[in-house]
Amino acid sequence: MILAITILIGISVIMIFPIGSQAQTEENIFVTHSGAVVKTTGEVLDPLYTSATVEFDPMEYLRDFNYGRISQLEDGTVLREYTIIANDDEIMEVSPGIFYNVWTFNGTVPGPTIRATEGDIVRVKFINNGEKEHTIHFHGIHPAGMDGVFEPVGGNGGQFVYEFEAGPVGVHPYHCHVMPLEEHIVHGLYGVFIVDPKEERPPADEMVMVLNGLDTDFDTENNFYAANTIPFYYQHHPIQINTNELIRIYVVNMVEFDPINNFHLHGNLYKYYPTGTDIVPSFYTDMITLSQTERGIMEFEYQYPGKYLFHAHKVEFSEKGWVGIFMVNENKEGTEDVKYGS
């Protein structure tokens, strides 16, 4: 009896009073969203203000376009050859301290942004180094056997060559199309395929933003949202652009689970070309709404230098990472050399 009570009291005491490990003596300071200054002897948990240690660099991805290995066929048509390798065993730090099994095309989520001109022959050598079957399904126009749906490519070195004529003009997603589809997409097997018009678009500072989410605990709800995978990244590392310089963003919404996503720009409006298939903009707005794999091209230029936010106006998404900053710098070179709208 006494023994039992002693044990009970002992356990209770342990359970009431927290057991801590050795406390750090060093004091950290951090600033919250609202500007409050917090001092702590512990560690700071902050996807926003600590320097990200993430392996994937969204800043590099932003302006990285893969034009392929270019050659000419006998009839003079341009042939562009690409290699895309699928993998499904990489663990990546997707936000400071959070490790997630990403499935990748060429090692990144999203996969490479491949780019061709309308009428070119696109030849994609696909190698599946994953454990599971994968494919690449390109949105666009192509023959049935090139659709990446009924031609699953086995893992551990399986290969397939996709070949088709680039078209139509615009910005298109590509993604794995193996069942269960949702699983393959939400793990990261997608990317962007841009088809440029034969008559080039006006020169601009071009970037690609894939709006995506990560369901890290597999409850079919996203734990994070981002433009280009890493939550809060462009807020922590603002995108540097210049005043009076045309900015062109290829936006693709790859968010799963949520019916819509959107893109709101601060201090400005943009011309919007849905799917990019037209060369005349359909909207002049600061807010577009995108359903799954809806995409388009946005064009704008800033007149006034400074910091401008861009984010999902579905505020939940922005507060879970889909938010960024354009740092608009004064353009020293002036505006004479920028021409567009020919």
**Site residues for other proteins per CB under 8 A:** 1, 4-5, 8, 11-12, 14-24, 28, 30, 32-34, 36, 38, 40-49, 94-100, 214, 216-217, 223-224, 231-232, 316, 319-321
> β-strands 283-285, 270-274: how paired?
antiparallel
Task: Report the first-to-last Cα separation within the chain, whole angstroms.
Answer: 93
- DSSP H or E segment with residue 62: helix 58-62
Burial 185-221 (b: 16+ CB within 10 A, else e): bbbbbbbbbbbbeeeebeebbbbbbbbbbbbeeeeee
Instruction: Give me the count of residues in the chain.
Output: 342
**Which of Cu ion, other proteins, none lies near 164, with the C-beta cut-off 5 to 8 A by kind?**
none
Specify whether the CB–CB gap between 294 and 263 falls below 8 A. no
In the complex, the residues that contact Cu ion under the rule CB under 5 A are: 134, 176, 178, 184, 189
**Which of Cu ion, other proteins, none lies near 176, with the C-beta cut-off 5 to 8 A by kind?**
Cu ion
CB 161, min distance to Cu ion, A = 17
When CB distances to Cu ion are compared, the closest residue is: 176
**Which of other proteins, Cu ion, none lies near 36, with the C-beta cut-off 5 to 8 A by kind?**
other proteins
Strand partners, 115: 194
Q: Which two tokens stand for residue 281?
A: 């903009």
Q: Which is nearer to other proteins, 139 or 237 (CB)?
A: 237
Q: Which is nearer to other proteins, 115 or 187 (CB)?
A: 187
Q: Which is nearer to other proteins, 51 or 156 (CB)?
A: 51
Please tell me whether 176 is known to bind a ligand.
Answer: yes
Strand partners, 161: 125
Q: Which is nearer to Cu ion, 162 or 250 (CB)?
A: 162
Please tell me whether 264 is known to bind a ligand.
Answer: no
**Binding annotation for Cu cation:** 134, 139, 175-176, 184
